[in-house]
Structure 1
Amino acid sequence: MLDLVGVHSGYGQIPILRDITLNVSEGEFVGILGHNGMGKTTLLMTVSGALPATDGHIALNGKEITSLPVHQRARMGLGYVKQGRRIFPRLTVRENLQAACLAGGQPLTRANEMLALFPRLVPIVDRPGGVLSGGEQQILALARCLCAAPRLVMLDEPTEGIQPSIREEIVEALLMLRNRLRLTMLLVEQNEAFLGALCSRNYCLEKGRLVA
């Protein structure tokens, strides 16, 4: 579903990623493991189109997307849950989901489908996103991403700042999504145990290169 071949990227004249080659098959969960500052977020931003690739090729479902803007990649089925969740703090849980449905060209009823998939959100559906706990915000961010019906979802540090019990709940939710929706995921994490519970394969990123 996703293929990167010899991808280089960075910020202006500062190179970060060097010769990244990886693939993710349909229905597969693949992890990117690495410490802070190794280029994990830069990798996801490059795949999403938020950063341009300075060399190499990126393909989604066999179609070249290297030069496409963010919104076109999203319409092709690429979802991205950024680090820090980035939910709308003044909108309620339901309004966050409905806004994502509208942005993704999906019917508002899809918000109810997401609530059925994530029952933890049901009792707090009328609360503003800004008052939720970190774990609740992460679950909302994932549900909001799925409102646009992506085929491949990228998650950036989903366990950051989250207590262990919620971390386990997120693992269960992601496994459920893989089974029910045959979702494909690329997960960036520092938590090796989290990736081990979910992913069939992990890449190790160090100083902008895949070393294992």
Structure 2
Amino acid sequence: MLQLVGVHSGYGQIPILRDISLNVAEGEFVGILGHNGMGKSTLLMTIGGTLPATDGRIEMGGQDITRLPVHRRARMGLGYVKQGRRIFPRLTVRENMQAACLAGGQPLARAEEMIALFPRLAPIAERPGGVLSGGEQQILALARCLCTAPRLVMLDEPTEGIQPSIREEIVEALLMLRDRLRLTMLLVEQNEAFLGALCTRSYCLEKGRLVA
């Protein structure tokens, strides 16, 4: 589903990622583990297209996407839940999800299907996103991403600032989605226990290089 070969990336003249090669099979959950500042978010932004790869090759489903713009990658089925969630605070939960359906060319009925998959969202569907707890916002961000019918989902620090009970709920939801939707997922995290509960394997990123 995803393959990186010798990928380099950075910010202007500042190199961050060095010679990154990894692969994610269809239906697999793979983790990226590392401390702050090691290049984890840079890696996801490079795969997603918001940062250009300065060298190397990125393939999705066997197609070279290294030079494709963000919207083309999204249309190919690449979903990205960024750190900080990035929901629309003034829109309701339902409106957030309907907006994602429209952006992804999906029928609005898909929003209702995703609400049904996440029991926590149904009772708060008419609340503005900005009044939700951090855990509720994270679940909304994930459900909103799924409204675009992605084949591969990238999650950036999904447990950041979230209480343990919500973390467990997110683990259960992701395992359920893997079985029902046959999702493929790449998760960036610092929480080893969270990755261990979800991923068949993980890569360790240190100072822009995969070291294990």
**After TM superposition, where is structure 1 displaced by more than 2 Å over at least 4 residues in a row?**
none
Aligned residue-pair number:
212
Letter in 2 for 1:63: Q
Aligned twin of 1:156: 156
Q: 1:70 maps to what in 2?
A: 70
- Name stretches of at least 5 consecutive residues in structure 2 with no aligned partner: none
Alpha-carbon distance between aligned partners in 2 of 1:204 and 1:187, rounded to the nearest angstrom = 12
Q: Tell me, in whole angstroms, the C-alpha distance in 1 between the residues paired with 2:122 and 2:65.
A: 37
Tell me what 2:7 maps to: 7
Give the TM-score taking structure 1 as reference length: 1.00
Q: Alpha-carbon deviation of 1:158?
A: 0.1
Correspondence list, 1:181-192, <5 A: 181-192=181-192
AA partner of residue 23 (structure 1): N
Return the offset for 1:13: 0.2
Consecutive unaligned residues of structure 1, counting only runs of 5 or more, are: none
Deviations 1:163-195 (A, max 9, x none): 000000000000000000000000000000000
User: Normalising to structure 2: TM-score of the pair?
Assistant: 1.00
Per-residue CA deviations over 1:114-133 (Å, capped at 9, x if unaligned) read 01101110000000000000
**Secondary structure, counterpart of 1:120 in structure 2:** coil
Partner in structure 1 of residue 99 of structure 2? 99
Q: State the partner residue of 2:26.
A: 26
Q: Could you tell me which residue of structure 2 aligns to residue 111 of structure 1? A: 111
The CA distance in 2 between the partners of 1:207 and 1:159, in whole Å, is 22
2:17 maps to which residue? 17
Give the superposed CA RMSD: 0.2
- Residues of 2 paired with 1:85 and 1:19: CA distance? 29
Deviations 1:127-178 (A, max 9, x none): 0000000000000000000000000000000000000000000000000000
